[in-house]
């Protein structure tokens, strides 16, 4: 790591969905304080990002290493940086960016990002052209390692406009591997609804790809609560699972013709499986407290080994409601003496909801 004044790298940038800046800010403030790092967040509504200012003598470089990125629910991507570069001349942006890069740890790659907003998306063309010129310039200046080399840090260029930029770094293994934290998935034409992408993205986030063949294996049994018309059931069928789809509404005809789906016209909150299943998935539009109670009931009775469920968020106090629901689940599982793992994420394909994954270590069949 180069010699530099680490105190200058005193900001953490967190990218999020526009409209969820307050939730992202509240979460990072809680986690930073719990880890002994004091500071404050600043945000602009609907900007798609939050700035967390770290008080001296600690630095944002220390904070980004002290916290686990996968703990965060509302942040899609993060990086540590110094002050932004504002009002750059269009005649020479490379020189000031290179000067700021001298203050950063050694990096082997650079990723350019924008906020996930209309204004941010309109900057994509500029970003591609600029980084195509910037990367070789930084390598020529020995500020970026040669292609193929590896480093602990990744350089991030966050573009607000052609004149206003942030430059920072994130640990390669403690940040999102995707620019902006967004994994681009293609909507399969055969799927009954676009909600199918929520479950696919959840699997990518919660289940390592190398483990799909064992943890999402053909022949497994699954229950889809609130299934109609079958967007999530479609994903389960594609993995070769046998699915009980519970919903009073109609299911997609092609899914029913697969021979892998049993459709029960029942209330998702009343249905009980006859034996333990491998997966329960639930995307029911219901108050988060009621979905939380359902999940706790399924866990206590050992109805499923894995659950992926969405908590639909209220219009106000969204972060507080998320914390209440997750803490309620954790407390109930501990009191029941269960061995468990719980994660939550505001996925790219989520909107006014978060997606949760609960894994239970159940001793054999019920």
- pLDDT, tens only, 200-238: 999 999 999 999 999 999 999 999 999 999 999 999 999
Task: Single out the residue of 183, 200, 182 nearest to residue 191, CA to CA.
Answer: 200
pLDDT band at 8 (very low <50, low <70, confident <90, very high): confident
Q: Where are the alpha helices (DSSP H) in 141-268?
A: 196-206, 212-215, 231-238, 253-256
pLDDT of residue 230: 97
Residues 159 and 47 in one domain: yes
| Residue where one domain finishes, among candidates 129, 147, 181 | 181
The average confidence (pLDDT) of the chain is 95
The pairs formed by 185-193 with CB atoms below 8 angstroms and a separation of 24 or more are 185/349, 188/234, 190/234, 190/254, 191/231, 191/234, 191/235, 192/229, 192/230, 192/231, 192/234, 192/251, 192/252, 192/254, 192/255, 193/229, 193/230, 193/231
Find the Cα–Cα–Cα–Cα dihedral 328, 331, 336, 342, rounded to 10°. Answer: 80
Q: In angstroms, rounded to a whole number, what is the distance separating the alpha carbons of residues 275 and 353?
A: 29
- pLDDT, tens only, 161-176: 999 999 999 999 999 9
CATH number at residue 224: 3.40.50.150
190 in a domain, yes or no? no
| Residue where one domain finishes, among candidates 181, 208, 235 | 181
Position 1 pLDDT exceeds 80: no
173 in a domain, yes or no? yes
Question: What residues are paired with 352 via a beta bridge?
Answer: none
Q: Give yes or no for a contact between 339 and 283, defined as CB atoms under 8 angstroms apart.
A: no
pLDDT band at 5 (very low <50, low <70, confident <90, very high): low
Indicate which residues carry an active-site annotation. 312
pLDDT of residue 7: 65
Q: Which helix (H) or strand (E) holds 4?
A: none
- pLDDT, tens only, 353-366: 999 999 999 875 44
Structurally, the chain folds into a number of domains equal to: 2
**Tokens in use for 332?**
């109930």
- pLDDT, tens only, 252-275: 999 999 999 999 999 999 999 999
pLDDT band at 181 (very low <50, low <70, confident <90, very high): very high
**What is the arithmetic mean of pLDDT over 267-292?**
97
Sign of dihedral through CA atoms 11, 72, 287, 235? positive
187 in a domain, yes or no? no
365 in a domain, yes or no? no
pLDDT band at 2 (very low <50, low <70, confident <90, very high): very low
- pLDDT, tens only, 104-161: 999 999 999 999 999 999 999 999 999 999 999 999 999 999 988 999 999 999 999 9
Does pTM top 0.85 for this prediction? yes
pLDDT of residue 325: 98
229 in a domain, yes or no? yes
Task: Single out the residue of 28, 25, 31, 69 nearest to residue 44, CA to CA.
Answer: 25
Residues 125 and 32 in one domain: yes
- pLDDT, tens only, 79-104: 999 999 999 999 999 999 999 999 99
Q: Are β-strands 107-113 and 165-171 bridged in parallel, bridged antiparallel, or unpaired? A: unpaired
Q: In angstroms, rounded to a whole number, what is the distance separating the alpha carbons of residues 320 and 41?
A: 17
Residues 90 and 175 in one domain: yes
Angle between helices 124-140 and 94-101 (to 10 degrees): 60
Residues 205 and 144 in one domain: no
Domain carrying residue 310: 196-360
19 in a domain, yes or no? yes
């Amino acid at each position: 790591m180069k010699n530099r004044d680490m105190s200058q790298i005193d900001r953490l940038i967190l990218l999020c969905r526009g409209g969820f800046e307050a939730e992202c800010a509240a979460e990072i403030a809680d986690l930073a304080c719990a880890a002994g790092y004091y500071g404050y967040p600043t945000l602009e509504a609907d900007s798609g990002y939050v700035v967390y200012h770290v008080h001296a003598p600690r630095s944002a470089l220390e904070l980004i290493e002290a916290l686990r990125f996968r703990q965060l629910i509302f942040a899609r991507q993060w990086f540590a940086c110094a002050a932004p570069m504002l009002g750059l001349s269009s005649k020479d942006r490379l020189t000031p960016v290179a000067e700021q890069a001298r203050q950063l740890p050694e990096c082997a790659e650079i990723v350019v990002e924008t906020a996930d907003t209309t204004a941010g998306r309109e900057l994509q063309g500029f970003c591609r052209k600029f980084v195509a010129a910037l990367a070789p310039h930084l390598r020529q200046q020995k500020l970026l390692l040669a292609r193929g080399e590896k480093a602990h840090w990744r350089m991030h260029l966050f573009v607000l406009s052609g004149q206003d930029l942030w430059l920072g770094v994130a640990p390669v293994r403690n940040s999102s591997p995707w620019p902006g934290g967004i994994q681009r998935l293609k909507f399969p034409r055969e799927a009954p609804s676009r909600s199918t992408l929520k479950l696919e993205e959840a699997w990518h986030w919660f289940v390592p790809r190398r483990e799909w063949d064992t943890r999402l294996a053909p022949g497994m049994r699954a229950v889809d609560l609130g299934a109609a018309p079958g967007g999530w059931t479609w994903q389960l069928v594609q993995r070769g699972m046998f699915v009980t789809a519970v919903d009073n509404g109609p299911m997609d005809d092609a899914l029913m013709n697969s021979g892998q789906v049993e459709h029960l016209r029942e209330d998702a909150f009343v249905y009980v499986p006859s034996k333990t299943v491998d997966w329960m998935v639930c995307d029911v539009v219901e108050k988060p407290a009621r979905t939380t109670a359902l999940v706790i009931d399924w866990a206590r009775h050992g109805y499923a080994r894995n659950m992926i469920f969405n908590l639909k968020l209220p219009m106000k106090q969204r972060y507080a409601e998320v914390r209440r629901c997750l803490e309620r689940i954790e407390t109930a599982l501990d009191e029941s003496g269960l061995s468990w793992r719980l994660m939550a994420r505001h996925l790219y394909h989520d909107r006014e909801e978060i997606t949760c994954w609960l894994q239970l270590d159940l001793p054999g069949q019920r």
